[in-house]
Amino acid sequence: MTKKIEVFPGDEVAEVEEYLASDGTFEHDGKIYASQIGILELDDDECIARVVSPNPPNVLKINDTVYAIVSDIRKTMATADVVAKDGTRREIASDTNATIHVSKISPAYTDDVSRELRKGDFIRARVIGVSPSLQLTTKDDHCGVIRALCGTCKTELVKKGKNLYCPECERSAPRKLADDYGDVKI
């Protein structure tokens, strides 16, 4: 049987002899306390004390799909600032600086990050690591560049074959494109 009670941070909710601290709780000196506002669930079957928030923080987890802007390119990796998590409008509560290793950009072999991503590109990526730092991959078909601007004239690039093309400068630029490049509304 599960008992449910509304609690606030710092409220004592259980003893460690009866329950284990779980989500939304912490243990100190043999007692379990709430670490967030929410509904206390004391699960007698599993012997777990947890607090479920009605409006939980938006924390990134492995396999989450995120949207990011490439902030820097290096020989073996790109860095990006995560701006949103797919399926939610709430601001991200965890670290938003991420890296994408060259081996995680494309399913095909690549040894030059700048042939796949460029600074300022809007990308869709999947979270593959959260500790010790946020790590992303764009290897999946649905991941990659979803919007890019020309490096010379800042005109939005259009998809032409497997590359991007600037209608103003008439220049082509390779990228690791998402399967729906150009159809994504930002």
Angle at 51 between CA 50 and CA 57, to 5 degrees: 120
pLDDT value of residue 1: 46
Please state, in angstroms and rounded to a whole number, the distance separating the CA atoms of residues 50 and 4: 10
What's the pLDDT tens digit per position in 13-28?
999 999 999 989 999 9
The whole-angstrom separation of Cα 58 and Cα 47 is 27
Q: Which residues of the chain have pLDDT under 70?
A: 1-4, 186
